[in-house]
Structure 1
């Protein structure tokens, strides 16, 4: 059995601005279960990077442990990648990002990897506003160890074994908003039309862009009693609006009533077009976002789309005033500025 895709592709495949086809953004053949939602998410990452004409060698993929953390092997095979230990993806991503700010960083995690052993790492990545796309492939179970409930499994939901979960779930989207994440979105692995523009907007966002993606486990958590099953999620999705990503376009910022559209300006002038479905929700107001999530939850709905965005807070490099040059590209003269500079630093500490 081979895990490599055949090299041949149709000669007339569409090309992006770089002259690349989707082939240049693919990875190896997936070894996940057939129909796994994680593969759909991988495909949306491929599509988003292709449409944005991102150089694959300028992308770094960092993951932890779990079914979700295997997926970086299945997309952007020509990019940099590092599979870390359980729950420690944010630490590795922070180190890589601080060493070279001139890359696109994808942090790929799961509900166990983030909501349990990696919770502390998740909190501090948000607090520091690390410039990365943080994707949680959320299936409510531990698929690698036969489907035990994870920390995001809903109270009262039944596992494949028939076990009823007695505990309240960790709501990662609400938690991200509460902790001060500057971009929070939620989606469903089977909704490519919504997820692709969300990932594109997340890539262009300056700071930590968190996307919680409901991704049903077809083997252990796709049964009638599960609130993370395909049927349940499709029946209980409530989208915040119709999404599109419009790169490099001037926008007008204005309050807008129910049933109308608005454009949220991103850091680089790019916009995300939103069609408002409710009068009491504003994606640029943290309290409004939290209320919208909780109100949807009270109605047994899963709110998807862009939930919250804030562009006025600098990323970690801006906060620390780091160099624009990658550390491995700094010259000896820059790294060792001389005795006079050292004397000046010492004098300032007296």
Structure 2
């Protein structure tokens, strides 16, 4: 389904940011994702973060791959630059774009399938290079566009749309990022805007690679065996006139308000996830303790959320590669093509 433009209507009393823009100026096309999809909540958080940071939309590069998550970039900052790459290749395309033009703010949106399966090597090297970008990983454990197969982040014991149980250990993107040396690692829940928006703002302001793993429920494939509302039950008790799937209208899942460190959230299929926020005395500058914290939460069947690790002293890709401050498009021809003499001198280094 093709996205449609939102009506350009603004209330005359709408608040503006430091650039004189309203929050509507940071929105994009109408979403065609399923009603209640967690990805739309992530979009709303990105819109809010960009507006609060006074980002200039035309100075933002929106990058994505393939999957439900990669449609997200169409739904915010319609005045921005954008590139929808092939499956799993968004990190390398963003690396090239950033190398050519370091003057843009890069927001990459990907999914657990796009990032942790075909794109795992791409993600790993973007972390290693410390590419200056915000990497939002919308994590729902399934391939939503291809009918709900398990992704590499699916938990052991989780069931597919057909009722099959996953028996393979998941890849945790947070532990992966910590192991590979990422300089900004965070996790949140799509329905917890109070936590997610500040994390996104921090990631956008970070120099280097900032990965935010966002647990984002899928309304179509959070399905469980035995439910009378499941696809399997319906097909066993129906007389089919045409073959079609029905996705019921659902409300987005939001985080319950409580003062507890651990919050239980009921998903669309009735399962419950337990999210633990970092405590007030948590030290996000210690990589080893961050790793230990995430593993301890896993042992208690909890999901660690919040800003888990940050290193503000890290060198980014531009420091390593000594890229020019001026975008390549603005460099004069003489600087881009210095002539045969300069090329011969360069080649002598490799003889």
| TM category, shorter | 0.7 to 0.9
Deviations 1:162-221 (A, max 9, x none): 211111111110011001000000000000000000000001100000000000101112
Gaps of 5+ in 1: 242-274
**Higher mean displacement: 164-173 or 333-342:** 333-342
User: 1:41 and 2:47 equivalent?
Assistant: no
What RMSD, in angstroms, separates the aligned Cα atoms of the two structures?
Answer: 2.1
The answer for the alignment partner of 1:112 in structure 2 is: 113
Q: Write out per-residue CA displacement over residues 201-244 of structure 1, whole angstroms, 9 at most, x where no aligned residue.
A: 0011000000000001011125599x993687875010014xxx
Specify the alignment match of 1:136 in structure 2: 137
Report the counterpart of residue 171 of structure 1 in structure 2: 172
In 2, Cα distance between equivalents of 1:158 and 1:137: 19
Give the CA deviation at 1:2: 7.1
Q: Distance in 1 between matches of 2:149 and 2:41?
A: 23
2:333 is aligned to 332
**Conserved? CA contact 2:188–2:215, under 8 Å:** yes
1:115 and 1:6 map into 2 onto residues whose CA distance is 36
Matched, 1:237 2:238: no
The equivalent residue for 1:295 is 296
Structure 2 partner of 1:81: 82
* 2:72 match: 71
2:318 maps to what in 1? Answer: 317
> What's 2:9 paired with?
8
Could you tell me how far 1:283 is from its partner in structure 2?
1.1
Distance 1:349 1:152, change over 3 A: closer
Partner of 2:25: 24
Q: How does 1:89-100 map to 2 (within 5 A)?
A: 89-100=90-101
Seen in structure 2, the aligned counterparts of structure 1 residues 228 and 89 have a Cα distance that, compared at 3 Å, is farther
Deviates more, 1:35-44 or 1:332-341: 332-341
What residue is the counterpart of 1:269 in the other structure? none
Distance 1:33 1:340, change over 3 A: same
Aligned to 2:53: 52
4+ residue segments displaced more than 6 Å: 231-234
Secondary structure of 2:145's counterpart equals helix
C-alpha spacing 1:345/1:166, structure 2 compared with 1 (3 Å) = closer
Query: Measured at CA, do residues 224 and 45 of structure 1 come closer, stay the same or move farther in structure 2, by a change above 3 Å?
Result: farther
Give the whole-Å Cα distance in 1 for the aligned partners of 2:150 and 2:313: 38
Contact persistence 1:132–1:203 (CA under 8 A) = yes
Rounded Cα–Cα distance in structure 1 between residues aligned with 2:276 and 2:31: 30
If the length of structure 2 is used for normalisation, what is the TM-score? 0.84
Structure 2: how far apart are the matches of 1:26 and 1:222?
31
Preserved contact between residue 215 and residue 228 of structure 1 (Cα < 8 Å)? no
Unaligned runs of 5+ in 2: 227-264
1:127 aligns with 2:128: yes
Displacement of 1:333 after TM fit? Answer: 2.6
- What is residue 250 of structure 1 aligned with on the other side? none
Change (3 A) 1:237 1:57: same
State the SS of the aligned residue for 2:71: helix
Q: Deviations over 1:77-129 (max 9, x none)?
A: 11011111111111111111111001100111000001111001011000100
Secondary structure of the structure 1 residue equivalent to 2:186: strand
Instruction: Assess if the C-alpha contact under 8 Å between 1:216 and 1:222 holds in 2.
Output: no
> Does the Cα contact within 8 Å between 2:274 and 2:301 map onto a contact in 1?
yes
Relative to structure 1, is the Cα distance of residues 334 and 30 closer, same or farther in structure 2, using a 3 angstrom cutoff?
same
- What corresponds to 1:282 in structure 2? 283
| TM-score (ref. length: structure 1) | 0.84
CA–CA distance in structure 2, aligned partners of residues 318 and 158 of structure 1: 45
